Each structure stands twice: as C-alpha cells, then as structure tokens.
Amino acid sequence: MRRLLVINPNTSAHVSSLLQTHVAAIAGPGVQVSTVTARLGAPYIANEASYAVAAHATLDAWASALVPPAEAPDAVLIGCFGDPGLFALRESSPVPITGLAEAAFMQASRAGRFAVVTGGATWDPMLRRLAWGLGHGEALAGVVTVAPSGAQLAEDPEGAKALLVEACRQAAALAGVQSVIVGGAGLAGMAEVLQGEVGVRLIDSVAAGAQEALRAMESPGAPGAHCVAGCDVTWSGVSAELRAFGRA
C-alpha cells in the first residue's frame, strides 16, 4: 500500500485532525495517510517568526517519521498554506514533497490568473513572496485576507462563511482572475461550501495538496526522487532525530 505522510507544521491537534480527515477522503482506501503534528512552534502560523520556526518543525517531523521501525512514505505533503520548510525538505528527501500553497498555485495557474483568500493579514506579503519563489508570481492577481486566523475560522465555520464569501467575491473581481484559492489547513472543505456564492472556480488548498501529492507518487521524475535522505549538517540543540538526520 502506498503511504502519504502529511506534516502539520503547527502544534494544533485540531488542524491535524482536519488534515487527516480531508486528505484521507481524497486519497481513498488504497493509500495510507498519516498526519503528524509539529513537536515545537506555534499553534497556528500567522507571522514571519512562527513561519521560521515552522520550517524547523517540518524538518524535525520528517526526521522523526524516518526513525525505524517506521516505513518511509512514498510522498510528503506539508499541511500549511505557506509550505514552511518546503525547499529544505525537498533538498534532503528521496520522495516527492509538496505543500498546500505550491499545489494550489499549480492548479490555479493552469487556468490563468488567480487570487488567494486566507485568514490573517500578515499572510499577504508572505504569500506574494512565496508565489514568486515558486514561479507563479505573474499569475497571482492578489491576496485578500480576513481578520481572523485560519484556526479561528475553523473553530466557527458558520460564522466564517459570510466573511469568506465576501472575501472570495472581492478576489474574484480582481482583473483577469479565473479562480480563487481558499487557502489554509483550517479552511479545509470551505471552498465547496462557498462555491455556489462565487462566480469563479474556488480551489481548496488542502484538496489541491492531496491531489498533487498523490499525482507525484506516480511520477518517477518527481523532485527528490533520486536524493538520499539526510542534510549533511552537524546540528546542535535540536532533537536527537534531527541530529541523526543531519549526519545521514
């Protein structure tokens, strides 16, 4: 059976539960989905500082997942709309790696220009920078944020709906937009709920992440396919698993 590892780079067990439920439903019974929660960091990633620590947490979770007798996964999905640690993990992994933002940007850009709706104003410049780093900067028409974080929105889905509908309509009205990404692990499933209220296609970042990770499993030329697990770093002050991973 194929194995997909989902790494939640924040410390929220509720977000991990959402990821597990939605990704497993898309993967189906033929893929074993395992979601792990960060052992350090913030309960929700909402600014540059928590994002920086989340990259460490992602590497730590990956190193821990490789400790015997655990079996290595066939692909990894970083379950944060911002993909902390994506490039570092891809550099040191022998299996395909993607994240919610990268996967959603890929799906959206295939249809042309797109916009993003997410929770937390600080994500606007962070996502713009990431889009350029991933090669989708030209296609990103804009980012519309709502004040509550994704975690707060997830705790009150009904209350979140009106806020997100208005934000999606604003995003859809930006010049040339063909689709709007509803971004964030805490917003898993909301794109489907909101779709009837918005005149362009809505893309669920969690669904996109699951779909692209599953597709990467089947691609022998996926990034990282010929790498050896390890990062050739002599660490200090990190977990035993990450120290061992650095020497691999």
Predicted structure pTM score: 0.93
Mean pLDDT of 130-141: 98
Q: Which fold has domain 101-206?
A: Rossmann fold (3.40.50)
Report DSSP state, residue 158.
H
Sheet holding 201-204, edge to edge: 140-146, 114-119, 179-182, 201-204
Number of other residues whose CB lies within 10 A of the CB of residue 159: 12
Mean pLDDT of 38-49: 94
Q: Is the pLDDT of residue 145 over 80?
A: yes
Does this chain's domain 2-99+209-247 share its CATH topology with 101-206? yes
**Is the domain covering 2-99+209-247 a CATH 3.40.50.12500 domain?**
yes
Please, what is the average pLDDT of the chain? 91
Q: Is the pLDDT of residue 156 over 90?
A: no
Q: pLDDT band at residue 78, thresholds of 50, 70 and 90?
A: very high
The domain locations on the chain are 2-99+209-247, 101-206
Rounded CA gap, 9 and 31, in Å?
Answer: 22
DSSP track, 78-131? E-STT-TTHHHHHHT-SS-EEEHHHHHHHHHHTTS-EEEEEE-TTHHHHHHHHH
